[in-house]
Amino acid sequence: MIKKIRRLPKFINKSSRNEYYHQPGTIPGTIIIDENAEHPNIFLFDYNQTNLIREQIINPEDCANYLDTESVSWVDVQGLGNRDILERLGRVFELHPLVLEDVVNMAERPKIEDYEDQLVIIARMVVRKENSHEFHSEQVSFVLGKHYLLTVQEEPEYDCFDGVRTRIIKHKGNIRKYGADYLAYALLDAIIDGFFPVLELYGDRIEELEEEVITNPTPQTLQKIYQIRRELLQLRRWIWPQRDAINSLIRDSSEIISDEVHIYLRDCYDHSVQVMDMVETYRELASGLMDVYLSAVGNKMNEIMKLLTVVSSIFIPLTFVAGIYGMNFNTEKSPYNMPELNWYWGYPLCLGLMAVIACGLIFFFWRRGWLANSVNIHKKSRY
């Protein structure tokens, strides 16, 4: 039976491929721009319960017109390919140089930092590509103020915020009834929920690998197990500090986050704990697959050795008979020097004796059940 094997899910993590670090002695607050980064596009959502402004902003200074209003202003920056625009945005939002460095340099660990009138949140987002088994990962940075939220994304093509944008545009749920802190929660919750589709596909793949390990373990199977273990370890490195960051938002009091939003953040924290539990469970299953693979390979080798031993056992008496009759004795010197060499039917009788011995041994091994298991293992290895 031919099975259709699903391709192994694969992460495309641009920041990890082009990961960089500051050279020793670099001035704090130094911004590093990736030469392959996309040109930044700035999108604005300014809303309250009755009005909504949605536009693309060309000049970063225009954002200042929306920061002092009572409405909620969400400034979404997609792309990091222009130093001048990013520095101008930093001046508009009065970002500390270290904040701008963390936001722009895409090698940060998920964390929370409190700058009195601003909260800086660094998160890791994983997005599954549509109609594909590949996944995109990138850093998303939040700068939360009293009435505004600045988000900075690495690439404009992938994010998991479409559901939040739709709720704002269509006035669904409570998002336009609350402030910028609720908007930050909604985006964080969307990021955490984005891990679940990834983990579900990993669960399906692990189930397929379990069957493959049992029925037909190959070196390619071992490579797939190692790949899953590496990618699950990477997921764990992302979700673990992200869970701690959300917990610190709940635990540490801040004037920017209201009591109502604290309650919603608890639900977001629960989701992150579920993701962490799923990652740990799948890592244990992947580690268990390694042990099962080694055991299955050992059993397969034992069956092969058993089959070879059976074949050798059949040919040992045949070799003994052939060796005796291959000896050069002169029958004229003594009547005991293999007189059957002069028999008319001596050769056919010798071959018949060897056939009877071989068939007898095969029948004996078959009755013992030693041949059936070896033949089954051979058939499974062929398919």
Residue-range domain boundaries for the chain: 9-175, 296-382
Give residue 29's pLDDT. 65
Give residue 352's pLDDT. 85
Closest by CA to 37, choosing from 153, 137, 154, is 154
CATH code of the region 9-175? 3.30.460.20
Tell me which amino acid residue 12 is: I
The pTM score is 0.75
Encode the chain (383 residues) as per-residue pLDDT tens digits. Answer: 333 334 444 444 444 444 445 666 566 667 777 777 888 999 999 999 999 999 999 999 999 988 888 899 999 999 888 889 999 999 999 998 888 888 887 667 889 988 878 999 999 998 877 666 677 888 999 999 999 999 999 887 778 899 999 999 999 988 999 999 999 999 999 999 999 988 988 888 898 888 888 888 888 888 888 889 888 988 898 899 999 999 988 888 778 898 899 999 999 999 999 999 999 999 999 888 888 888 877 777 777 787 778 788 888 888 888 877 777 777 777 777 777 777 778 778 888 888 888 888 888 878 877 776 554 544 444 44
Residue-wise pLDDT tens digits, 296-335: 777 777 777 877 787 888 888 888 888 777 777 777 777 7
Contact present, 255 and 115 (Cβ < 8 Å): no
CATH topology of domain 296-382: Methane Monooxygenase Hydroxylase; Chain G, domain 1 (1.20.58)
- In three-state secondary structure terms, 122 is strand
Give residue 179's pLDDT. 92
Contact present, 215 and 184 (Cβ < 8 Å): no
CA dist., res. 375 & res. 383, Å (int)? 13
Residue-wise pLDDT tens digits, 60-103: 999 998 888 889 999 999 988 888 999 999 999 999 888 888 88
Q: Token digits for 253?
A: 């009091």
- In three-state secondary structure terms, 147 is coil
CA dist., res. 277 & res. 162, Å (int)? 27
Q: Do domains 9-175 and 296-382 have the same CATH topology?
A: no
Angle, helices 370-382 vs 346-367, to 10°: value is: 80
